[in-house]
Amino acid sequence: MVFCTDCAQQQEDSQKFCRFCGERLPGATLIQQLRDEAANIKAQKTGQITQTQQANLATLKAIELARQQSPNGQS
């Protein structure tokens, strides 16, 4: 089952366009995104992450560190 990104109505998996509002359904795009994410996760596990991913991880670590050092525990 998929849901229209525009009107949130439930759609058949095989449908390419929403039968309620005509919005193009994200089926193929979503699957591609999931495949990309899976590939990224696999790459991380094998230690082969991209510079962008390294930067993102560094940013996340910095945020975590800042939260831990915050006197109130919240910003």
The residues of the shown chain that bind Zn ion, judged by CB under 5 A, are 4, 6-7, 18, 20-21, 23
Compute the least distance from the CB of residue 12 to Zn ion, in Å.
13
Task: Report how far residue 31's alpha carbon sits from residue 12's, in angstroms, rounded to the nearest whole number.
Answer: 15
Considering the complex, state which of residue 19 and residue 42 has its C-beta at the smaller distance from Zn ion. Answer: 19
Compute the least distance from the CB of residue 29 to Zn ion, in Å.
15
Considering the complex, state which of residue 21 and residue 60 has its C-beta at the smaller distance from Zn ion. Answer: 21
Compute the least distance from the CB of residue 20 to Zn ion, in Å.
5
Considering the complex, state which of residue 21 and residue 57 has its C-beta at the smaller distance from Zn ion. Answer: 21
Amino acid identity at 42? K
